[in-house]
Amino acid sequence: MTETRPNAEHGNGEAQPEPSFPLVEIQDLKTWYPIRRGVLARTVGQVKAVDGVSLAVKRGETLGLVGESGCGKTTLGRTLMGLEQANEGRILFDGQNILAMKPAEKKDIRRRMQMIFQDPLTSLNPRMLVRDIVTEGMRALGMIRDSEAEDTAASLLAEVGMNRESLTRYPHEFSGGQCQRISIARAVSMRPDFMVLDEAVSALDVSVQAQVLNLFMDLQDKYGLTYLFISHNLSVVSHIADHVAVMYLGKIVEYGTVADVIGHPVHPYTQALISAVPVPGRRTQRIILKGETPSAARPPLGCAFHPRCPEAADVCRTRAPRLEISSHRLFACHMRNHDR
């Protein structure tokens, strides 16, 4: 059984009435990887890559997801896409819990959710012509006839700023930025509503990064796309995102608008992350965190951030803070909660 809510038409690029609930709602999501040992590959523990995440992505908005390497950003994105299996929780897409759906029911949802990866070249089949890469999905779903592939591919390439001559070339003939444009054309061909962009510009030169970011924003305006924008680069996130969620060791520690979270971070971890980014005109002291990120296989008791937190008190060592709402934002920190 899947839950349903009144559903707007979707996926055809036309303006739709705005339902009041978010396009994507994640509820207490957990994705753990088993640690296996020995010849019998017995499970001896779990890497708690995503460990109880609740988040909402509003329609037509970009939610930035930031945090240090290994905190679980990619695992969260891949779980949304069905590329990793969740252990617990719910993912509501347009009001329907996709984790409770049968594969056949998920077919259209899968079309409506697309993902762009960090390394553009390896995500493209080296033996396929660009024309076939960008129309493969449409042909598989019967969205176009074979005879329409050439013209459809040309107009998809035009959408991402590439010319018709590219159609009969192979991925290795293009630069990183161009390969990323081809990946974007392929994703857009499915007429998605939601895209997970996982470090989608991180491997590109800075000038190319700006162009590809602008392309994402143009496509968002044109098609009303909703993005989950995963990045470790806070400057890029502040440029493209509306809201931002900060992740630490599988959990969200702060969430709010970009202006609030990046401009006035509340959680000690967010404050440290942001203090490391030079901002013209801002003179804040860099907060250097002690130690490494602990292993997600053995997260510390209490608040997972406490061993590195400059403000940790006894309560932080024993009790995990809940994500509380205060002045338009959410944060999980005993030292900031007045009613602890």
Ligand X SMILES: Nc1ncnc2c1ncn2[C@@H]1O[C@H](COP(=O)(O)OP(=O)(O)OP(=O)(O)O)[C@@H](O)[C@H]1O
Token pair 């203090």 is found at: 275
Binding mask 55-84 for Mg ion (x = CB under 5 A): -------------------x----------
For residue 48, the SS3 value is strand
Q: Is 238 in the site for Mg ion (CB under 5 A)?
A: no
Interaction residues for Mg ion, span 139-198 (CB under 5 A): none
Q: Which does 321 bind (CB under 5 to 8 A by kind): Mg ion, ligand X, none?
A: none
Dihedral of CA 155/161/165/170: which sign?
negative
Q: Pick what 70 binds: ligand X, Mg ion, none; C-beta below 5 to 8 Å, kind-dependent.
A: ligand X
Q: How many helices (H) and strands (E) does the chain have?
A: 10, 12
Q: Of these partners, Mg ion, ligand X, none, which one is at the site of residue 59 (CB under 5 to 8 Å by kind)?
A: none
The identity of residue 249, as a single letter, is: L
2-61 residues in contact with ligand X (CB under 6 A) are 33, 47, 49
Nearer to ligand X, 82 or 167 (CB): 82
Query: Measured between alpha carbons, how far is 62 from 194 in angstroms, rounded to an integer?
Result: 10
* Residue 72 Cβ vs ligand X, minimum distance, rounded to whole Å: 4
Q: Which of 248, 254, 256 is nearest to 303 (CA)?
A: 248
Residues numbered 53-72 forming contacts with ligand X, rule: CB under 6 A: 67, 69-72
Site for ligand X (CB under 6 A): which residue of 29, 51, 66, 75? 75
Say which residues have a Cβ less than 8 Å from residue 215's Cβ, sequence separation at least 6.
160, 161, 181, 184
Residue 188 binding result from ligand X, Mg ion, none, given CB thresholds of 5 to 8 Å by partner type? none
User: Buried b / exposed e across 9-25, counting CB within 10 Å, b at 16+?
Assistant: ebeeeeeeeeeeebbbb
Choice from 296, 303, 304, 312 touching ligand X (CB under 6 A): 296
Nearer to Mg ion, 55 or 316 (CB): 55
CA angle 251, 257, 258 (to 5 degrees): 95
* Chosen from ligand X, Mg ion, none, partner binding at 249 (C-beta under 5 to 8 Å by type): none
Per CB under 5 A, residues contacting Mg ion are 74
Per CB under 6 A, residues contacting ligand X are 33, 47, 49, 67, 69-75, 232, 296
